[in-house]
Structure 1
Amino acid sequence: MSIQPKDTFAAIDLGSNSFHLLVATFKSGQLQQIDKVKQMVRLAANLDHKKRITQAGLVSAFECLSMFAQRIKHIPSENIKIVGTNTLRVAKNAEHFLQQAEDILNHDIDIISGREEARLLYLGVAQSMSEHLSNKLVMDIGGGSTEIITGKGFESKQRESLHMGCVSYTKRFFSDGKITQTQWSDAYTHALQELSPVSKSFKKIGWEHAIGASGTMRAAAKILVANDWSQTGISRKGLEQLIQQCLGMGEIKSLTQISGLSERRRPVFIGGLAIIAALMDELGIEHMSVSSGALREGIAYSLYGESGQELVTERSINKLKAQFDVDQRQVDRVKHQAKNLIKNSDITLNDKDWFLLNAAIEWHELGLSIAHSQFHKHGAYVVQYADLPGFSRQQQLIISQLIRYQRQKISSQSNSLLNNKQWHRFEPMLAILRLSLIYSRDRQQHDIPVQSFTIEPKRLKIPQIWLQHHPLIHADLKEEEPRWLNIGSCFELIPT
């Protein structure tokens, strides 16, 4: 039986070293790979001294994305998820990259935090392992970051993302192409220093199985098996033999003489090897198995298990509300007003935009636990920079800006942190949020007799007699007119 497009999912991982595309379907909840493409784009290696992706790096990336675009063009948009990782988190011109990349792919790209990357990675590894219920330590060495996660079953418990990767370490410690004992010691020691602040907590939790994921780990395991230095996976004894072999070669270009190491992996392998050595030594690992699953599989499972993804974001929302003692009754009042406004307006929010608006409503008062004065600014800062599993950086940015401009002055697009595409989505959501908060100012549950609300231009029609009986709300609505006009947008209250 042929596989229908609606049953096909695409996961794209824009990594610091490689771009990965996975096309898959699911049978009885298990991922079945249809197609897989990997391109060594080396985005991290193409960062200049100002942390900007070079023109050569952009050209290479866009060529790869053009190929990916052809492969995913017949897959439903809701079945596609594209994420960017460490290099796109740190690149100064990431916004420029994203605008062109999204045009090529005709799809949004989510820049995810290190801990969200770790969560999805763990999900991909856990789903690919037979020991589903065991306590696991999962490690992944990417081009610019290393993720370490403990968990049980399919749920991660502790997640860390460290600023060390195979590309960045090779570039930093072996830039001249040499492999000397001094260079090796510097790279290894620096990796130990990165691990030291977190290793104790991981060892305290403990694990039954240590698992490596992705290219560097798989490459090391392949070499050890090919040279009879390990029967399976990565053993500490075998790793030491490999290290001595690399030091004996003396140069990166000579590493191709090592059986099992591909030419594609060779230029960045030595930096990754130093990180593996530090991981095994600092965490006391004698042997680690290597998983076939990684970040892209985790992305695919998160797409397929939509209800599970909703639970992840719901947990993030509830955790932050509990942490800042948010008044849930007021949240419910504002949400009720927002739904009523949308029902009586010409605004059509898609599921993604309602998700963002809903999160902003849930969190709009969390800044009150910090200080009443400027609470909207405090809340916006927390949401923008917190680690929130299930949320991308762009989602957190839009939500934080909704919280930031829920009251008082509205910033124009030229002064905001949002790009053109984000602003187009943002403005209708902000209008709904601000009006819903005005209606809920007295912290009482009541229905506003909205007759209609149009967004272009913003015209709100409410019965005159009702406004006369609610002078405070009437005054607040009148104050909205100059605030929207200040950013070049019309707002008009029309009593009927």
Structure 2
Amino acid sequence: MQTRNAPDPPGGRRGEAPPVSPIASPPQASAGAPLYAALDLGTNNCRLLVASPSGPGGFRVLDSFSRIIRLGEGLSATGALSDAAMNRAEAALEACGQKLARRPVQVVNAVATEACRRASNGPGFMRRAERALGAPIRVIPAREEAELAMESCAPLLREEDRRALLFDIGGGSTEVAWVRTDGPEAPRLIGTISIPLGVVTLMERDGAACFSEEGFDRVVQEVAAKFEAFDGVHRIRQEMRAGGVRLMGTSGTVTTLAGIALDLPRYSRAAVDGHELEMGCADKALETLRLMGRAGLAAHPCIGPERVDFVLPGCAIYAAIRQVWPAARITVCDRGLREGLLLRAMRARRRNRRGG
């Protein structure tokens, strides 16, 4: 898949030969090429990509947008989206709508995730959100989240992989997908689990505690316990011992760990996406983050003040996954729902044009 992203905030998402080849200069859509847009309205961020097809199974990103909106702020306590959070999200969606209006976009796929699934006032807010964007927005179930993440990360799989375990640490929830990759067909889900713990929910409940060793470890054990039953059903640890299982992570947490491990002077998607991070290096990066303190996290160029509250809660979730499923390395994926939506839409158009 060939992409070029306009910069997202620090900590967005080096291998020997990265599957993603960034384009050196801003690409222009070729004459008559259809334009696609994908929008992810998440619990913590609003993100947009506008792209055109490029080669078999790839695309070029022409425009992008990412803003922290904290839509799920206070949701775990009240069960509803707050006025302030909805206003922030509406402003971000209006900005995305303006971007869409400046280009002849033919297909817009917009989805909302955990915050809008859970909120009692979610349906009412969705009507506001669609007016702000100028396009329909679909609230998707957790399983579809996992499927879209799987589709976007599939190009990073290798021929020798027979299974993959993919995790996505979000704002309001964390999805884990157990994927079969050794059949003649495209990778397919064997099973998936979604837990209602993400960087926003944990920040609001245990954000301060995560800065202490005791509090951090308590959260790790709580999250790990939620994944043990899933492992019991699918015997993933046993499969890992047999070999051929790739652990993959897509989230700001895992890309931040990669940025720290690679000692990047500033976050670089080209350096991070597809990088195979040895677990020893990941462990050192995690410890580095825990020792930084709030001021150090805010000052780091791969993190920044807007994300300082979410780093350690995300690290606690990652540490729980690491504890339950001890792999030798992790493939870092700076890609997710938006890329999955684009690939799905482009594939559907190709099928329609072939008449099948």
TM-score between the two structures when normalised by the length of structure 2: 0.77
1:260 maps to which residue? 302
Matches of 2:331 and 2:282 in 1, distance apart? 13
In the alignment, structure 1 segments of 5+ residues that lack a partner are 311-496
User: Residue type matched to 2:158 in 1?
Assistant: E
**SS at structure 2 position matched to 1:261:** coil
Say if 1:80 and 1:205 are closer, same or farther in 2 by CA, change over 3 A: farther
Residue 38 of structure 1 deviates from its aligned partner by: 0.9
2:237 maps to which residue? 203
- Which of 140, 152, 157 matches 1:112? 140
Matches of 1:274 and 1:297 in 2, distance apart? 26
- Which of 9, 24, 45 matches 1:18? 45
Matches of 2:351 and 2:306 in 1, distance apart? 35
8 Å CA contact 1:6–1:75 kept in 2: the answer is no
**SS at structure 1 position matched to 2:78:** coil
Matched, 1:63 2:91: yes
**SS at structure 2 position matched to 1:278:** helix
Note the alpha carbon deviations across 1:294-336, whole angstroms, 9 max, x for none: 11100111111117999xxxxxxxxxxxxxxxxxxxxxxxxxx
**SS at structure 2 position matched to 1:260:** coil
After superposition, residues 452-467 of structure 1 pair within 5 angstroms as none
Residue 2 of structure 1 deviates from its aligned partner by: 4.7
Matches of 1:78 and 1:46 in 2, distance apart? 36
8 Å CA contact 2:42–2:71 kept in 1: the answer is yes
Matched, 1:300 2:351: no
Deviates more, 1:205-214 or 1:104-113: 205-214
Say if 1:147 and 1:308 are closer, same or farther in 2 by CA, change over 3 A: farther
Matches of 2:30 and 2:102 in 1, distance apart? 12
User: Residue type matched to 1:225 in 2?
Assistant: L
Residue 67 of structure 1 deviates from its aligned partner by: 0.5
Say if 1:162 and 1:304 are closer, same or farther in 2 by CA, change over 3 A: same
More helix by share: 1
8 Å CA contact 1:8–1:23 kept in 2: the answer is yes
8 Å CA contact 1:212–1:288 kept in 2: the answer is yes
Note the alpha carbon deviations across 1:100-126, whole angstroms, 9 max, x for none: 111111211110110111001100111
After superposition, residues 116-135 of structure 1 pair within 5 angstroms as 116-127=144-155, 129=156, 131=158, 134=161, 135=163
8 Å CA contact 1:23–1:33 kept in 2: the answer is yes
1:81 maps to which residue? 109
**SS at structure 1 position matched to 2:211:** coil
Residue 3 of structure 1 deviates from its aligned partner by: 3.5
**SS at structure 1 position matched to 2:63:** strand
TM-score between the two structures when normalised by the length of structure 1: 0.57
Residue 5 of structure 1 deviates from its aligned partner by: 7.1
Say if 1:50 and 1:288 are closer, same or farther in 2 by CA, change over 3 A: same
**SS at structure 2 position matched to 1:79:** strand
1:278 maps to which residue? 320
Aligned length: 305
In the alignment, structure 2 segments of 5+ residues that lack a partner are 1-27, 266-271
Deviates more, 1:130-139 or 1:144-153: 130-139
8 Å CA contact 2:51–2:62 kept in 1: the answer is yes
Say if 1:286 and 1:61 are closer, same or farther in 2 by CA, change over 3 A: same
Say if 1:258 and 1:240 are closer, same or farther in 2 by CA, change over 3 A: farther
Matches of 2:350 and 2:219 in 1, distance apart? 39
After superposition, residues 180-199 of structure 1 pair within 5 angstroms as 180-199=212-231
Residue 239 of structure 1 deviates from its aligned partner by: 3.4
Higher relative contact order (CA 8 A, sep 6+): 2
Matches of 1:204 and 1:244 in 2, distance apart? 28
Say if 1:257 and 1:63 are closer, same or farther in 2 by CA, change over 3 A: closer
Sequence identity percentage: 23
8 Å CA contact 2:210–2:313 kept in 1: the answer is no
Note the alpha carbon deviations across 1:260-285, whole angstroms, 9 max, x for none: 33333222010000111111120112
8 Å CA contact 1:302–1:308 kept in 2: the answer is no
Matches of 1:133 and 1:88 in 2, distance apart? 39
Note the alpha carbon deviations across 1:467-494, whole angstroms, 9 max, x for none: xxxxxxxxxxxxxxxxxxxxxxxxxxxx
Residue 210 of structure 1 deviates from its aligned partner by: 1.5
RMSD over aligned Cα, in angstroms?
A: 2.7
Matches of 1:183 and 1:211 in 2, distance apart? 26
Residue 96 of structure 1 deviates from its aligned partner by: 1.8
8 Å CA contact 1:223–1:259 kept in 2: the answer is no
Say if 1:257 and 1:80 are closer, same or farther in 2 by CA, change over 3 A: closer
**SS at structure 1 position matched to 2:53:** strand
Matches of 1:105 and 1:60 in 2, distance apart? 13
**SS at structure 2 position matched to 1:266:** helix
Note the alpha carbon deviations across 1:192-245, whole angstroms, 9 max, x for none: 1111111231335554321111322111111111189xx954433233333433
Say if 1:132 and 1:60 are closer, same or farther in 2 by CA, change over 3 A: farther
8 Å CA contact 1:162–1:194 kept in 2: the answer is yes
After superposition, residues 16-415 of structure 1 pair within 5 angstroms as 16-28=43-55, 29-47=57-75, 49-73=77-101, 79-127=107-155, 129=156, 131=158, 134=161, 135-149=163-177, 150-152=179-181, 153-174=186-207, 176=208, 179-200=211-232, 201=234, 202-204=236-238, 206=240, 207-226=244-263, 232-249=275-292, 251-256=293-298, 260-306=302-348
2:3 maps to which residue? none
Matches of 1:132 and 1:294 in 2, distance apart? 21
